[in-house]
Amino acid sequence: MAAPLAGIRVLELARILAGPWAGQLLADLGAEVIKVERAGAGDDTRGWGPPFATGADGAPIGAAYFHATNRGKKSIALDFESPEGQATVRALAAESDVLIENFKVGGLSRFGLDHETLSALNPRLIYCSVTGFGQTGPYAPRAGYDYLVQGMGGLMDLNGEAAGEPQKVGVAVADIFTGLYATAGILAALHRRGETGKGARIDMALLDTQVSVLANQALNFLVSGEVPHRMGNAHPNIVPYQVFPAADGHLIVAVGNDGQFARFCAVLGAAEIALDPNHLHNADRVRHRDTLCATLAALTAKFARDDLLARLETVGVPAAPINAIDQVFADPQVIHRGLKVMLPEAGGGTVPSVACPIVMDGQRLVASSASPRLGADTASILAALAEHAAS
């Protein structure tokens, strides 16, 4: 199968996570992604370790963090401060379909690499800026960090135990969601360009994204006027939908309708609980959450975890274990779906990666190479530019 974005060139002037995540996904989809890095240092995350990946010779080739978000790209190392480096970026932008950058607002203007300058050189260019707070508004000049945005955007106040302190999510979800939304915007702009021939300016902000993915919690507030707060592992709108104790650990039970609830109670040997007028429908169960879940927890605690999981699966009640990451990659479904991949890198070795989740026409879309070494493609890219200029 031909890669969906074959023939599309992406110029990535982005570091850390949100912008590179978009670039990596576009590389998975088949685009040529040229990552422009500062000569000598490169993307900050190359040094964000340990752990560090190693090449075939056993020497470190960059932090695992860097390899998590840069597979399938080419790397050119340039001096942004020099006229020569700036001219090279402009030449690349003139031949690119997409540019992704995550400098502070106005940060590229002093290099002559801002949207206005580059779109004048290439009116078909889709220029995607990723910042903490967007190109406009009172916070626009601020630097943005995922951790801060999880707090400012309401997520941390929803995450954690009710009586405990607010908690961030264990991965940088504001960054990652912003990268995903940026990719969606870029693909939409490419589609529109096919109709109009014109590029686009895409303005992505971490805070915008974080607020937008508050999802049902945002609507719970906007509809009711009541502020939702932390509930630990419970669900604000569905009961029972949380972690329950077992005799030897914990499990998740995610009851989604009244029939599942009745079968859950039957498995626990307490079918009468589902017939109680206080428990007949989800709205009833939400109102009586505390007493009901305490009763259910006392019952689940009598079962061995895996035995209860097997019984619930047999009767179609959604339930799952809580896996550590080593258990995730040992899970037979994860193995079957090929979510761990080993990608070749320039030194002759391989680097592990987590595959793109998109499967199209039976084929998983994932880049064919590991993250590049710093400046690995500088010579070939400069040679191609020189050849193009001479023709």
Strands 249-254 and 319-320: antiparallel
Taking every pair of Cα atoms in the chain, the longest distance, rounded to a whole number of angstroms, is 83
Name residue, tokens 């300058």. 117
Contact criterion met (CB below 8 Å) for 327 and 339: no
* Cα-based distances in Å from 100 to 21, 22, 156, 205, 372: 10, 8, 28, 13, 18
What letters, b where the CB count within 10 A reaches 16 and e where it falls short, cover 160-186?
beeeeeebbeeebbbbbbbbbbbbebb
Q: What is the DSSP letter of 44?
A: G
Using CA atoms, how far apart are residues 73 and 373, in angstroms rounded to an integer?
Answer: 10
> Given 175, 203, 208, 377, which residue is catalytic?
175
Q: 258-267 and 305-314 helices cross at what angle (nearest 10)?
A: 130
Q: What is the DSSP letter of 5?
A: T
- What are phi and psi for residue 382, nearest 5 degrees? -65, -35
**Whether residue 175 lies in the annotated active site:** yes
In 3D, which of 147, 180, 185, 189 has the Cα closest to residue 166?
147
What is the set of active-site residues? 175
